[in-house]
Amino acid sequence: MKWRKNSLLIIILFAFLSNCQKQDKKNIIDLKYVSGVLIVNGKVGGSIHGMFQIDTGASSSMIRKKVADKLNIVPSEQRQGHDPGGKTFIAPMAEVASISIGDYGTSLPSCVIVNMQNQNVPEKFLGLIGSDFIKNFIITIDYKKKELIFEDKQSLNNRLLTGIKIPIIFNKNAPNIPYMNVTINDSMNGEYIFDTGVPVTHLSYNDFQAIGLTKDIANVQKKSKNILGSKFETFYTDISSFAINDSLRIRNFKIGTCENCDGLIGNNFLSNFIVTLNYKEKYILFNKI
C-alpha cells in the first residue's frame, strides 16, 4: 500500500511539473496571422510596447519615426532602397540599442526609420522585424498553431528528423536576405526571396513575361497597393505549379506580380508548412503541417 501511495505521489508530481513546463515555455510567442502577414508583440528600447510585422524580405528592420522620437533615436545616415513596386526611396538609418520579442532581443546598428504618419496603420504598430534581427536566432514559424518559436537544440533536432532542409542563398548586395531556388510550372527555375512580408507569392516580372502571362494581362485581376507611401498595380492570376528546390510543390497556385518586381516566396505558399529559419547554418527547414 505504501508503494502504491508513493507511486501515486510521483505520478501527480510528474504531471504537475509537466504542466508547469508547458505554461512556462518562454521561447513560444503568440503569433497573429492577419490579412496574410505575421504580427507579434514586441518592444523597442525596453519600454515601448506594441506590434511588429515579421518580414524576412526586409534586409533591415524598421521602426516608426514617432517611436524613434520618443527614444531620442537620431538617424546617422541615409541609404537608397526600393519598395516592392520598384520605386526608389531614401531611408534614414539609425542604431537601435534594443529590439525584442518576448525574452529575445538584440541591438541593431542600422535600423530604418519610417514616417508612417499618413498611412492607415494601428497606433500600436511599431514597425518591421527584418532579417538583421532574425539572423541572430533560430526561429520557427508555425502558421497553424500561430506560434513563433525561438528554438533550442533539442526541439530543433526533433524537427530535423521529419523535415526537409533546403539551403539558403545569400546575395552579396543584400547579405541578410534569404534566397531559395524555385521551379515554376515544372520547367522554369530562378532564385526567389523567402519573404514572410508578402501575403501572396510574386513571380519576378521577367518570369511573368517569360511564361506568356503578359499576353492576357487585361484579363488578370489588378489591385492597387500602398506600401511606404508608394502606389503600384499588382496583377494576380494562377499558375499550374510552384515549387521550392523542386521538392516542395503546390499545384494550381495563386501568384502575383508587378512591374520591376523581384521573385518573392510569400505566405500563401509558406503557410502550408512549419518553417524553421537558421541563417547561421544557411538553411530553412520545412515540416509539413
Q: What secondary structure does DSSP assign to 198-259, as a single string?
A: -SS-B--HHHHHHTTGGGGGGGSEEEEEEETTEEEEEEEEEEEEEEETTTEEEEEEEEEE-T
Q: Determine, yes or no, domain membership for 23.
A: no
Length of the chain (residues): 289
- Beta carbons of 278 and 271 less than 8 angstroms apart: no
Sequential pLDDT tens for the chain (289 residues): 443 434 434 433 344 344 444 445 779 999 999 889 999 999 999 889 999 999 999 999 999 999 999 999 998 888 776 555 556 667 899 999 999 999 999 999 999 998 877 677 788 999 999 999 999 999 999 999 999 999 988 888 888 889 999 999 998 777 889 999 999 999 999 999 999 999 999 999 999 999 999 888 888 888 765 444 556 788 999 999 999 988 899 999 999 998 888 999 999 999 999 999 999 999 999 998 8
Picking from 153, 171, 192, the residue at the C-terminal end of a domain is: 153
Picking from 98, 122, 153, the residue at the C-terminal end of a domain is: 153
Q: For the chain, what is the domain count?
A: 2
One-letter amino acid of 204? S
Q: Are residues 70 and 41 in the same domain?
A: yes
For residue 2, what pLDDT is reported? 40
DSSP secondary structure code for residue 279 in this structure: T
- How far apart CA 105 and CA 19 sit, in angstroms, is 27
Q: Determine, yes or no, domain membership for 18.
A: no
For 196, phi then psi, to 5°, come to: -75, 0
Q: Are residues 102 and 65 in the same domain?
A: yes
**Cβ contacts of 91 within 8 Å, gap of 6 or more:** 60, 78, 79, 80, 81, 112, 113, 114
For 163, phi then psi, to 5°, come to: -105, 175
Return the residue matching grid coordinates 500563401.
Answer: 268
Q: Which one, of 261, 203, 182, lies nearest residue 227 by Cα? A: 261
- Beta carbons of 167 and 282 less than 8 angstroms apart: yes
Q: Which one, of 198, 173, 166, 154, lies nearest residue 278 by Cα? A: 166
Picking from 99, 130, 153, the residue at the C-terminal end of a domain is: 153
Q: Determine, yes or no, domain membership for 120.
A: yes
3-state secondary structure of 218: helix
Q: Determine, yes or no, domain membership for 2.
A: no
One-letter amino acid of 47? S
Q: Determine, yes or no, domain membership for 167.
A: yes
For residue 9, what pLDDT is reported? 40
- Beta carbons of 79 and 91 less than 8 angstroms apart: yes
What would you measure as the largest C-alpha separation in the chain, in angstroms?
A: 83
What range defines the domain where residue 147 resides? 28-153
Q: Are residues 112 and 172 in the same domain?
A: no
For residue 175, what pLDDT is reported? 80
Q: Are residues 182 and 271 in the same domain?
A: yes
The runs of H, that is alpha helices, within the chain are 2-23, 65-70, 131-134, 153-160, 205-210, 267-270
Question: Structure pTM?
Answer: 0.86
Q: Are residues 166 and 148 in the same domain?
A: no
For residue 193, what pLDDT is reported? 96
**CA within 13 Å, CB half, 164:** 12
Q: Determine, yes or no, domain membership for 10.
A: no
For residue 82, what pLDDT is reported? 57
136: CATH: 2.40.70.10
Q: Count each helix (H run) and each strand (E run) in the chain, helices first.
A: 6, 21
For residue 15, what pLDDT is reported? 41
